[in-house]
């Protein structure tokens, strides 16, 4: 297989190379190589590592808490117990560090 490289990223993988702009280049790659998932590092093709998740417990909680609309509906429907159960589940899932 041949990997098409542009700005040190694999942008295409094909069996037969074709003419490309001088800003791009071709190199041999394994069958596992995929466009958008591999990059060229020091002359070697490597999988692009997944970025580390740096969100805090508070950011996770904010994303999972019931929405304002859900809270208003719970208040108006006199269903605060169910709302508290949902909130506690989020707190249990993402405890303070």
Which domain does 43 fall in, by range?
A: 2-47
- When pLDDT is averaged across residues 57-70 and rounded to a whole number, the result is 94
- So what's the pLDDT on residue 97? 81
- So what's the pLDDT on residue 70? 92
33 & 65 share domain: no
> Quick check: is 63 in a domain?
yes
Q: Give me the DSSP letters along 5-68.
A: EETTEEEEEESS-----TTEEEEE--TT--TTTEEEETTEEEEPPPPP----HHHHHHHHSPPH
pLDDT in tens, 1-57: 999 999 999 999 999 999 999 999 999 999 999 999 999 999 999 999 999 999 999
38 & 66 share domain: no
35 & 67 share domain: no
pLDDT in tens, 65-93: 999 999 999 999 999 999 999 999 999 99
Residue where a domain terminates, one of 47, 68, 83: 47
């Amino acid at each position: 297989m041949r990997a098409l490289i542009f700005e040190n990223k694999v942008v295409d993988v094909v069996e037969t190379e074709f003419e490309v702009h001088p800003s791009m280049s071709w190199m041999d790659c394994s069958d596992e190589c995929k466009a958008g998932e591999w990059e060229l590092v020091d002359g070697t093709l490597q999988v692009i590592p997944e970025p580390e998740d740096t969100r805090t417990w508070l950011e996770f909680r904010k994303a999972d808490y019931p929405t304002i609309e859900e809270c208003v509906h719970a208040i108006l429907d006199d269903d605060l117990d169910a709302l508290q159960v949902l909130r506690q589940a989020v707190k249990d899932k993402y405890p303070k560090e």
